[in-house]
Chains A and B, each alone.
Chain A
Amino acid sequence: MKDVVRIVIAMLVWLALFSALYGLEGVGCAAGWQHIQVTGATLFQAAMTLAFFVALLILAAVLVGLRSPLFRSASPFVAHISTMLAVAALVAGAWTLFPALALSHCA
């Protein structure tokens, strides 16, 4: 069972973060964060940017964690697959969430 968790955990975290950022975008727009200024940017921009980097940090931590002796699977096969999927999750994080940095807000 632990090995199954090792295999699915990275992509599951990606899915959670992806949904969280989409939710944050919805909440931010509904609450009017795009109209609140904080030091040169809008609160919305600041929140989305921060969330983007936190998300990537978490995904990187999952990758490092799965490779560390503490959580690494004893089975070379599972260790390999879990690493592949952790890398995939990190790439997916950067790929799917970069609009948080670049696109216009709430329009």
Chain B
Amino acid sequence: MNALARHRALSRIWSSQPGWRGVISTVNHSDIGRMFLLVATLFFLIGGVLAMLIRTQLATARSAFVAPAIYDQIFTMHGTVMMFLFAIPLFEGAAVYLLPKLLGTRDLAFPRLTAYGFWCYVFGGLMLVFALLAGLAPDSGWFMYPPLSSSAHSPGVNADFWLIGVTFVEVSAIAAAVEICVSILKFRAPGMSLDLMPIFAWYALVTALMILMGFPPLILGSILLELERAFGFPFFESALGGSPLLWQHLFWLFGHPEVYIIFLPAAGVISTVLPVMARTTLLGYRWVVAAAVALAFLSFGLWVHHMFATGIPHMGLAFFSAASTLVAVPTGIQIFAWLGTLWKGQPRLTLPMLYIIGFFFTFVIGGLTGVMVAIVPFDWQAHDTAFITAHLHYVLFGGFVFPMLAGLYYWLPQLTGRKRFFRIGEMAFWLIFMGFNGAFLAMHWVGLLGQRRRIAWYPENAGWTEINLMSSISAFVMAIGVAMVVFDIALHALLAIRGSRNPWGAGTLEWAMPTPPAAYNFASIPIVGDREPLARDPELANKIARGEYFLGAPRGELRETLTVDAAGGRPEALVIFPGNSTLPITLAAFTGAGFLGALIRVYWVIPLALLFVVGLSLRWGWSQREATHTGLQNVGRATLLPQAIETDRSPGWWGSAFLLGADAVLYGSLFFGYAFLWTVGPNWPPPQWLSLSVLELALGLIGAAVEVIGILLAGRAVSRSSPPPSLGILLTLAGAAMTIAALAMTLTRAGQLTDYAYGATIFVMIAYALIHAAIAAITICSLAYRTLRGGAARPRTSNVNIVRLWTDYAAFVAATSLIATQFSSYLR
């Protein structure tokens, strides 16, 4: 088979369908990555228009441009759109598009999950856009502090749009994060051990892990606040044993890591682009990796620095003040590693490099003002003034938008196979750079003069008018710059000027393919022995196209790739991907219907939607392409590998493990809330406690134990292949049924206590356990069904291991939640 025939065969196998059917049924990471990037950019433009409205309002004293009620919606939506609908999805899009190409594989771990995440993002984003156009947008500020966002002070549907829309979008972030973790750890080119991974993959891995740890607290907070708004569960109502500060803790537990979730991918782009522009390699690869990991964890120890003015004791503040200064160290290490890289090589002044210089200029200022506000007494003055707004824009625009624009111009030739002709990008850079600094330097100044953030107007005699006018004019200059970038890209797309294949002389694998890339990425999966394989072997692209490496011979209609062992990069298994499917968009639509039901408070829609979601999920699991051949498979180069579903730990196991990790963080946050209200919440103890029921406790604990033992037995039976695992499955099912019964009884009793924060909290804990017990029961039923069908459908060890993760977790949650709630009356 020659290179062209191989290209045709692989293209037929991997392509999406033509036209609109392709858009809704594609599961290919290049397609979805491009769609993600496009939609995220649209939201950036929407957020930008909102920003211009804000600057119009503030350009003059006592402005009558819009009334405060509208203005509040505008700034709330500006923050919300930029954070949730632009920054995170843009990272997801970049990662989805780039990672398989950087890692030397053909697609991400779970192609249909990628599509599902994308459609959840689109539908959730549309909800918020609708709210904006209908004048029903959230208006309590993007961090939605209760009681301002509670039903007493925000009676309309506005706050519900935020809570439900943003949570829906976060489903997509969690899906993408699971996908990215598993893909980076398992789906790499053979030979690519952890130390040979492209640096961007490290950053993406760290970011994805942070999303899994950082988003669950906010998802929990949103659920609690929506429960308070819809059903009067008083989690944040101080008169009834709740605390408004609980929301602030949960929000910032997410909110601070969020800043680094946004910054780290951008740092990954710089670490990739800057060395190429300096014609050298990154200085201190190991340092940069360690710094990124350290930064990720330190950023979880900063959340209280958004709450310095809430009256927390000084020692508590001091911990967070110290951590907030320390976080500057790994940031500094990265900055100096990049500067050292420039000194090591011979830097060129290309367009991507211009944007990186813009990054250095703005981000260093943002970092320095960040250290200032980490100091408690300074923050007591600067907090909630325009100084903070300026600081955060220096960090986020400087630390995210500039590097992402650098990345855009760097990877544009890869994306399109074309080259730029006009020099609009350079002009746009100078407009954006000058406009940005003019707008936000001025805001530092006016903030120190006392201008608060989020004000709709200020008096003439405040002396801020000229500064604000200057800031507004600069902001419009910046907007013109952004519009020119959009124009530049549009021209680029319209004028087809073929570019060379690797215009920058980069060494990573995404340049070792024809551009624009084919749907299958690599005609054969290369063997990697270097951090920059293309720099070491300039012939690599041709060898890949000639099929000299793994999986160079397409078989039937199968979409095939390899997995490797996580650390060493030895080939481990053959993966067969599912093909194009409209299942993801359908599942996302039904998920959306459930969220919509909650939003418009038509609650009977929710169980109906849930029924469809469960049904479609089961179909999803079933339509996983079963192996037509069993046993070891020839993957080329005289290598025989098992299929991934016949190994003990399939990609599905890894995905479940990471998802449960995020789930456990949510459960942990719930425990934190319980302990927080107990120790700090005002108006505790509650008038009524949940009394101990020995029956419920014993039933639940024994059930959990039986569940754990049962699945253990089932696993043993399956690994010995005879007899069928019926006993184990029946035991597990019985255990699950017992925990469900025990939890349901406890829930009924807790349901009578929910007009107080204590009762509402234990109600949620038990309900959480009950939901997981039900999920566990469904997974066991699917295992039972496999056993009954037998033959090719019979359960394999990988199936049991996945089910076991869910049942063990459900057993753990049932036991701990029952213990924590049943004994509570003795702990008073």
A and B touch in the complex (CB under 8 A): yes
Interface residues as binary, B149-167 with A (CB distance below 8 Å gives 1, 0 otherwise): 0000000000000000000
**Is B337 interfacial (CB 8 A cutoff)?**
no
Whether A96 contacts B680 in the complex (CB less than 8 A), given A15-B297, A75-B193, A80-B286, comes out as no
B636 at the A interface (CB under 8 A)? no
Q: State which of B293, B326, B675, B679 has its C-beta within 8 Å of the C-beta of A96.
A: B326
- Give the contacts of B305-359 with A (CB-CB under 8 A): 313-316, 318-320, 322-323, 326, 330
The reply to whether the CB of A56 lies closer than 8 angstroms to some CB of chain B is no
A100 CB within 8 Å of chain B:
yes
Report how far A105 CA is from B296 CA in the complex, Å.
30
- Asked if residues A77 and B319 are in contact (CB atoms below 8 Å), the reply is no
B566: chain A residues at CB < 8 Å are 1, 3-4
Among residues of A, the one whose C-beta sits closest to the C-beta of B567 is A3
Min CB gap A63→B, angstroms? 14
Does chain B have a CB within 8 A of A88? yes
The reply to whether B194 and A30 contact each other, CB–CB distance below 8 Å, is no
In this assembly, does B300 line the interface, its C-beta being within 8 Å of a C-beta of chain A? Answer: yes
A50 CB → nearest B CB, Å: 15
A81 touches B290 (CB 8 A): yes
Asked if A8 and B293 make an inter-chain contact with CB atoms under 8 angstroms apart, the answer reads yes
Taking A80-B286, A88-B290, A96-B326 as contacts, is the C-beta distance between A26 and B319 under 8 angstroms? Answer: no
Question: Given A77-B193, A92-B298, do A99 and B319 touch, yes or no (CB 8 Å)?
Answer: yes
Q: Is B185 interfacial (CB 8 A cutoff)? A: yes
**Residues A27 and B679 in contact, CB atoms below 8 Å apart:** yes
Q: Nearest chain A CB to B798's CB is how many angstroms away? A: 15
Cα(A8)–Cα(B290), bound, Å: 10
Chain A 25-64 interface mask (CB, 8 Å, partner B; 1/0): 1110111000000000000000010000000000000000
Query: Does A70 reach chain B (CB closer than 8 Å)?
Result: no
Chain B residues lying within 8 Å of A84, measured Cβ to Cβ, are 286-287, 290
Q: Does A98 contact B (CB under 8 A)?
A: yes
Q: Is the interface of A mostly helix, strand, loop or mixed?
A: helix
Tell whether A75 pairs with B194 under 8 Å between CB atoms, given A80-B286, A99-B322, A104-B315.
Answer: yes
- Take A75-B193, A97-B319 as given contacts and tell me if A107 and B314 are in contact as well, using a CB distance cutoff of 8 Å: yes
B293 touches which one: A7, A22, A48, A105 (CB < 8 A)? A7
- Chain B 489-507 interface residues, beta-carbon cutoff 8 Å to A: none
* Contact between A103 and B314, CB atoms less than 8 A apart: yes
Residue of B nearest to A44 (CB): B315
Closest chain A CB from B159 CB (angstroms): 28
Task: Say whether B289 faces chain A, with CB atoms less than 8 Å apart.
Answer: yes
Q: Is B195 an interface residue (CB 8 A)?
A: yes
The answer to whether A81 and B294 have CB atoms under 8 Å apart is no
B568 within 8 A of A: yes
Known contacts A84-B286, A85-B290: A103-B679 contact under CB 8 Å: no
A25 vs B330: C-alpha distance in the bound complex, in angstroms?
27
Instruction: Verify if B147 is at the interface (C-beta below 8 Å from A).
Output: no
Partner of A25, one of B185, B209, B315, B675: B315
Shortest CB-to-CB span from A88 to chain B, Å, is 5
**A26-B316 CB under 8 A given contacts A1-B566, A3-B194:** yes
Confirm or deny: B301 has a beta carbon within 8 angstroms of a beta carbon on chain A. yes
Contact B326 A15 (CB under 8 A): no
- Chain A residues with CB under 8 A of B313: 25, 29, 105-107
Contacts of A100 in B (CB 8 A): 315, 319
Which residues does chain B contribute within 8 Å of A22, judged by CB atoms?
Answer: 304, 316, 319-320
Q: Which residues of B contact A80 (CB under 8 A)?
A: 286
- Whether the pair B322, A98 counts as a contact (CB closer than 8 A) is yes
A11 within 8 A of B: yes
- CB pair A92–B293 under 8 Å, yes or no, is no
Q: CA of A25 to CA of B679 in the docked complex: distance in angstroms?
A: 11
Would A25 and B316 count as touching, CB distance under 8 A? yes
Are B323 and A18 interface neighbours, CB within 8 A? yes
Chain B residues whose C-beta falls within 8 Å of the C-beta of A25 in the assembled complex = 313, 315-316, 319
Q: Is B290 within 8 A of A104, CB to CB?
A: no
Residue pair B294, A96 in contact (C-beta under 8 Å):
no
Q: How far is the CB of A92 from chain B (nearest CB, A)?
A: 6
The answer to whether B318 and A77 have CB atoms under 8 Å apart is no
Q: How far apart sit A7 and B323, CA to CA, in the bound complex (Å)?
A: 20
| Candidates B297, B315, B326; contact of A103 at CB < 8 Å | B315
Residue of chain A at shortest CB distance from B330: A88
Give the residues in chain A near B679, CB-CB below 8 Å: 26-27, 30-31
B675 to nearest A CB, angstroms?
A: 7
Q: Which residues of A contact B567 (CB under 8 A)?
A: 1-4, 73, 75, 78
Judging by beta carbons under 8 Å apart, are B314 and A96 in contact?
Answer: no
Chain A residue contacts of B287, Cβ below 8 A: 84
Contacts A77-B193, A95-B326 known; A21 to B293 CB distance under 8 Å?
Answer: no
Contact present for B326 and A92 (CB under 8 Å): yes
Among the listed A29, A75, A88, which residue makes an inter-chain contact with B568, where contact means beta carbons less than 8 Å apart? A75
Query: What distance in Å separates the Cβ of B530 from its nearest Cβ neighbour in chain A?
Result: 14
B488 to chain A minimum Cβ distance, whole angstroms, is 40
Decide yes or no whether A23 CB sits under 8 A from chain B: yes
The distance in angstroms between the C-alpha atoms of A97 and B321, with both chains bound, is 10
Specify which chain B residues have a CB less than 8 angstroms from the CB of A77 in the assembled complex: 193-195, 286
Given contacts A26-B680, A75-B195, A77-B195, contact A15 B300 (CB under 8 A): yes
A11 touches B316 (CB 8 A): no
Q: Mark B736-773, 1 if CB is under 8 A from A, else 0.
A: 00000000000000000000000000000000000000
> Which residue in B193, B289, B319 is a CB contact (below 8 Å) of A18?
B319
Contacts of A103 in B (CB 8 A): 314-315, 318
Given A26-B680, A77-B286, A85-B315 contact (CB < 8 Å): no
A81 CA to B195 CA in the complex, in Å? 10
- B322 in contact with A95 (CB, 8 Å): yes
Identify the closest chain A residue to B675 (Cβ): A23
| Complex: A9 Cα to B401 Cα, angstroms | 32
Instruction: Give the distance in Å from the alpha carbon of A35 to the alpha carbon of B15 in the complex.
Output: 72
* Residue of A whose beta carbon sits closest to that of B285: A77
Residues of B within 8 A of A95 (CB): 322-323, 326
User: Which residues of chain B are within 8 angstroms of A97 by Cβ–Cβ distance?
Assistant: 319, 322
- Give A78-94 as 1s and 0s: 1 = Cβ < 8 Å from B's Cβ atoms: 10110011001000100
Docked complex Cα distance between A96 and B287 (Å): 21
Q: Give the most central of A1, A78, A98: most B CB within 10 Å.
A: A1
Nearest B residue to A30 via CB reads B679
* Complex CA distance for A33 and B323, rounded to whole angstroms: 25
Q: Which residues of A contact B319 (CB under 8 A)?
A: 18, 21-22, 25, 96-97, 99-100
The contact string, 1 if C-beta is below 8 Å from chain A, for chain B 567-584, is 110000000000000000
Distance between Cα atoms of A47 and B193 in the complex (Å): 45
Residue of A2, A7, A21 contacting most chain B CB atoms (<10 Å): A7
B315 close to A96 (CB less than 8 A): no
User: Complex Cα distance A48/B365, Å?
Assistant: 36
Question: Could you say which of B193, B289, B294, B568 contacts A11, with CB atoms under 8 Å apart?
Answer: B294
Contact A88-B294, Cβ < 8 Å, known A21-B319, A30-B680, A96-B326: yes
Which residue on B lies nearest to A87, using beta carbons?
B290
Check if A81 sits within 8 Å of B297, measured CB to CB. no
Residues of B within 8 A of A (CB): 185, 193-195, 209, 286-287, 289-290, 293-294, 296-298, 300-301, 304, 313-316, 318-320, 322-323, 326, 330, 566-568, 675-676, 679-680
**Can you report 15 A-B residue pairs in the complex whose CB atoms are below 8 A from each other?**
A1-B185, A4-B567, A14-B297, A18-B301, A22-B319, A25-B313, A26-B676, A26-B679, A77-B286, A84-B286, A88-B290, A95-B326, A99-B319, A103-B314, A106-B315
Q: Sorted from nearest, which 10 A-B pairs have the closest CB atoms?
A: A99-B318, A77-B195, A11-B297, A3-B567, A84-B290, A30-B679, A96-B322, A103-B315, A96-B323, A88-B294
